[in-house]
Amino acid sequence: MKAHRIATTPLLATLWLALQPALLQGACATPVRSVLDMDLEELGDIQITSVSKHSQRLADAAASVFVIRAEDIHRAGARSLPEALRLAPNLQVARITNSQYAISARGFNGFRNNKLLVQIDGRGVYSPSSSVVFWEQQMVLMEDIERIEVISGPGGTLWGLNAVNGIINVITRSAQQTRGTLVHAAAATDASSVEVRHGFGAAQDTASEGAAWRLNAQSVAWNNSRTLGGRTVEDATTQQQIGFRVDGPDGRDQWSVVGQAFKVSAGQPPPGFFVRRSAPSDIQTSGLNLVGQWQRPVGDGGQLQWQFYLDSIERELPNTLTDQTDKLDLQVLHSFTPVAEHRLTWGGEFRLVRNEVRTSGAMVYVPEAATQHWLSAFAQDEWAMTPTLRLTLGSRIETNPYTQAEWLPNVRVAWTPAESQLIWAAASKAARSPSRVDVDLRFPAKPPYLLSGDDGFRTEKARATELGYRGQLSDRLSLAATLFYNHYDQLLTVERGPSGNHFTNKRFGDTYGAEWWAVYQPAPSWRVSAGWSGLKKKLKLEPGVVDLNLVAPNGGNDSDSQWRASLSHDFSEQWSIDGTVRHVSKLPASTVAAYTVADLRLAYAPHAGLEIALAGTNLLAGRHEEYTLTNVVNPSATVSPQVGLSLSLRY
C-alpha cells in the first residue's frame, strides 16, 4: 500500500461541506465534564486496560500507572500529544525542535528513544526502520482523547518487544460520546490551529440500535524557534489531518473502525549525521492508517477480541532519503475464567512490515527494501489466592527478523491490607529488538564507515524489579509511589572495526529510582496535585571497549530528578483557573541547565457550549533549552514564554 500525498485544503473543504446536512439536524454536543466534579474515590474507579488487557479499576492495578483524563488535557490547554504527556509525572518530556521531542520513562531519553512503546487506539507508532517515534506524525484531536494510560516500567508479557521502560496507550472516545459539533480555534505567539469535528448517530444514553459516526479535521502551524542568542531556527512546522470513527451499537458485540490521513511539513531536520546542511530542511511526511476492533463478552466475565490495523507512511528528507513503511498487524485476545479464582488472558499477534529506504547515495540501507514479520503468543493468569492477595503470572514468546525468539516473563503480587489500600511488587523481563538502522545502515555508502549496522547486533535486555503502593489516605488525599531497580545487558554501543565504526552491544549496568504522585482536594472546587521522579544510572562498558556513540552517550541524556505541582479551581460555573509549576534538573550529557517553568490557564464559559481561554506557558524561566545532542551542527532550539487565546464552540 503506497502512502499518498494529501491535498489538505480541498479535503478540509470537502469535509466541511459534507458536514452541513448533519449540522442542520441540530444534534446536541456532548459536554466536557469538569474534573473537579469527581471526588478521589471516583478517580480511583477509573477503568483502565493497559495493565492487564482487560478492564479494571485504576485502584486495583499492580503497576506504576498514571492516567491522563480528557478533562485534565482540556484544562491544561494541551495542543499536541507531547504537551499532554507533560501531565504525567512518570514521564520525562523534552522538546528538541518545535515538532520533535525526546520522551522517555525511567531513563535512556533522547531523539532515538527505543525503549518506550507508544500506541494510539491499539496502533503501534514505532518506526521499524529507525527505532524512533516521530512525534510530529502523531496527530490526535485533543478533545477526542478519552484518556492516556502511562505505565512506567516493563510490559513485555502483554505488549511485546520494545515495551522495556514504559507504555503510552492513547485511547480516543467512542463516536457515541462525541455527538454534535465542535469548533476549536487557537492562536498563540508560537502557533495557531483550527479543529473541526462533527458526530452523529446513536447517543450512548439512548436505546437506539444504530451506529454512531464522527468526522474531524485539523490544521496546525508552528512558528520558527530561536536559539539562546535569539537567532532563528528554521523549524517551522505545519500539520494537517482528517479522520473518522464509527462505533457499532451498544449491544452484545461492540466494534469500531478508526481512520486517518495526514500530512506534515517539518523544518529543521532532527539532529544527526546524515543531513546535508545546505539542502532544503523541510521533512515531508504523509500517511494513511486504519484500525478495526471487535469484541464480544463470553462466559462469566470473559471477553473475545480481534484487532487489525493498516499503516502506510512516507517520510522524505530532501536530498537525503525517502523512507516508505507499510504495516499490517493482526491481534486476537481471549480472557475467561477456567476455574474459580483464576482469570486467564491469552492471545497472539502477527505483524507484517515492508520498509524501503531510498537514499541519495551518501548513505545506504543494505538491502534497500525489506519485508519482515513478527509473531508472538502470550498467556497470563490472575489468581485471587485470598480475598486480599492476588498473584499474576505471565509469559510471552516473540520472534523478530534479526534474533532468536525472546522469552518475556512477568510475575506480580498485589496485597490489599485494607479498603482503598494496595501494595504490589513485580519482577519482569523485557527486550528491545534490533531495527533496520541497527543492522542495515551504511554511512557513507562504502567503507571506511563513519557509522554502520552490524548483522551480529543483538537484542537489548532488561530485568526489572518494582515495589509500589497506591491508596486513598483520607477522603481528601490519595497517593501512589513506586521504587524500581533495573538491570540492563547488551546495550547499544559504537566501536571501531576493520571497516569503520559499527553498532555493537557492549554496555551493561543498572538504573534505580523512585516516583510518586499525590492528589489533595481540600474543597469540592479546589484540587492540588504533585508528583516527583528520580533516577540514578550506573552503566559500564565491557573491558577494553571505547564507545564512539555521539547520539546517545552513556545510554541517553536524563535528568536526575523532576517534579511538578498543579492547582485547579472553579470560581463558579463560568470561571476556572489551572496552574502548574514544574522543575527539571540539568542534563548531564549536554549544556542544558536545570529550569523551572510555570503554565497558567484562565477559562470563561459564558454559557453551555462556549468557552474562551487565555493561557501562558513556559513562564518564569525565560528562554531556555530542554534538550540538545552533542553532535548537533545546527543551533539548538529553545523554549520561551508564550501567550495564547483559544475559543471552543460546541453545539
Q: What is the pLDDT of residues 63-75, one digit of tens each?
A: 999 999 999 999 9
pLDDT at 605 over 80: yes
Residue type, position 231, single letter: R
What cell numbers appear for 213 in the block?
A: 459516526
Q: How confident is the model at residue 41 (pLDDT cuts 50, 70, 90)?
A: confident
**pLDDT, greater one: 353 or 34:** 353
Residue 344 exposure: Cα atoms within 13 Å on the Cβ side: 10
pLDDT value, residue 15: 38
**Model confidence over 301-355: pLDDT tens digits?**
889 999 999 999 999 988 888 999 999 999 999 999 999 899 999 999 999 999 9
Question: In whole angstroms, what is the distance from residue 311 CA to residue 354 CA?
Answer: 11
What cell numbers appear for 285 in the block?
A: 511526511
Mean pLDDT across 621-647: 82
Question: In whole angstroms, what is the distance from residue 34 CA to residue 576 CA?
Answer: 10
**Model confidence over 413-439: pLDDT tens digits?**
999 999 899 999 999 999 999 999 999
pLDDT at 28 over 70: no
Q: What is the mean pLDDT of the chain?
A: 88
pLDDT at 290 over 60: yes
**Model confidence over 109-148: pLDDT tens digits?**
988 788 999 999 999 998 888 878 999 999 999 999 999 9
**Model confidence over 220-258: pLDDT tens digits?**
999 999 888 888 888 899 999 999 999 997 667 899 999
**pLDDT, greater one: 622 or 15:** 622
Indicate the SS3 state at residue 134. Answer: coil
Residue 315 exposure: Cα atoms within 13 Å on the Cβ side: 22
Number of H helices, E strands in the chain: 6, 36
Which residue intervals of 316-449 are DSSP H helices? 436-439
pLDDT at 89 over 60: yes
pLDDT value, residue 30: 44
pLDDT at 271 over 80: no
Mean pLDDT across 530-540: 96
Please write down the long-range contacts of 475-478, taking CB distance under 8 Å and 24 or more positions apart. Answer: 475/39, 475/40, 476/40, 476/520, 476/521, 476/522, 477/40, 477/518, 477/519, 477/520, 477/521, 478/40, 478/43, 478/44, 478/518, 478/519
How are beta strands 526-541 and 500-523 bridged, if at all? antiparallel
Q: How confident is the model at residue 7 (pLDDT cuts 50, 70, 90)?
A: very low
**Model confidence over 445-469: pLDDT tens digits?**
899 999 999 999 999 999 999 999 9
* Residue of 500, 503, 494, 504 lying closest to 450 (CA atoms): 500
Contact yes or no for 490/505 (Cβ under 8 A): yes
Classify burial at 187, counting beta carbons within 10 Å of its beta carbon; exposed 0-12, middle 13-18, buried 19 or more: middle
pLDDT value, residue 208: 53
pLDDT at 35 over 60: no
**pLDDT, greater one: 206 or 366:** 366
Which residue intervals of 126-224 are DSSP H helices? 156-159
Mean pLDDT across 142-158: 94
Instruction: Tell me which of 175-179, 230-234, 584-588 is least confident.
Output: 230-234
Question: In whole angstroms, what is the distance from residue 505 CA to residue 489 CA?
Answer: 8
pLDDT value, residue 4: 41
pLDDT at 596 over 70: yes
Q: How confident is the model at residue 12 (pLDDT cuts 50, 70, 90)?
A: very low
Backbone angles phi, psi at 13, to 5 degrees: -65, -45
Instruction: Tell me which of 9-18, 216-225, 249-258, 384-393 is least confident.
Output: 9-18
pLDDT value, residue 17: 37
Mean pLDDT across 16-26: 39
